[in-house]
């Protein structure tokens, strides 16, 4: 009959495979361009990941923080309670190494979590007493 390809597919979006016959979907016309687009997307994604890693490294190197050069001593001896002792030790330690770094500061903090909790509880009780007294 007089219906051709254009009349059967009338109203379809151009480039859509919906409503096409198998003979209309040729490898060279449909599959190869799709594969090329997927390959391009893959290449761009891989290049973007590599570029992001390079930029991240540059930013990290340009923004140095004290934590980049901090040393934390876990379970130090209890008899050492003077920061100057640690300062002398680490000054000698780093001067003997290849990098010859200066020790800028030494800070000591004791594990006093239980004391902090008791002080917070005391403060809450004191506030309760103040609030109770204010109601009278």
Which of the two residues, 15 and 40, has the higher pLDDT score?
40
Tell me how far apart the alpha carbons of residues 104 and 70 are, in angstroms, rounded to a whole number: 10
Residue 4 is predicted with a pLDDT of 52
Task: Answer yes or no: is pLDDT of 117 > 80.
Answer: yes
Tell whether the model's pLDDT for residue 2 goes beyond 50. Answer: no
Q: Is 58 helix (H, G, I), strand (E, B) or coil?
A: helix
Q: How far apart (Å, rounded) are the C-alpha atoms in residues 104 and 102?
A: 6
Can you give the pTM of this predicted structure?
0.36
Closest CA relative to residue 89, chosen from 76, 99, 65 = 76
**Predicted local distance difference test score (pLDDT) of residue 14:** 58
Counted residue by residue, the chain has a size of 136
Q: How many Å apart are CA 95 and CA 78, to the nearest integer?
A: 26
């Amino acid at each position: 009959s007089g219906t051709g390809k254009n009349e059967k597919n009338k109203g379809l979006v151009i480039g859509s495979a919906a409503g096409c016959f198998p003979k209309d979907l040729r490898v060279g016309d449909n599959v190869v361009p799709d594969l090329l687009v997927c390959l391009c997307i893959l290449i761009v994604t891989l290049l973007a990941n590599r570029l992001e890693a390079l930029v991240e490294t540059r930013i990290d190197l340009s923004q140095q923080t004290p934590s980049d050069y901090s040393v934390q001593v876990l379970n130090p001896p209890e008899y050492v309670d003077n920061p100057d002792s640690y300062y002398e030790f680490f000054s000698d330690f780093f001067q003997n190494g290849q990098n010859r770094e200066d020790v800028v500061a030494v800070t000591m903090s004791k594990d006093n979590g239980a004391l902090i909790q008791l002080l917070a509880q005391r403060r809450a009780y004191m506030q309760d007493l103040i609030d109770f007294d204010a109601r009278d």
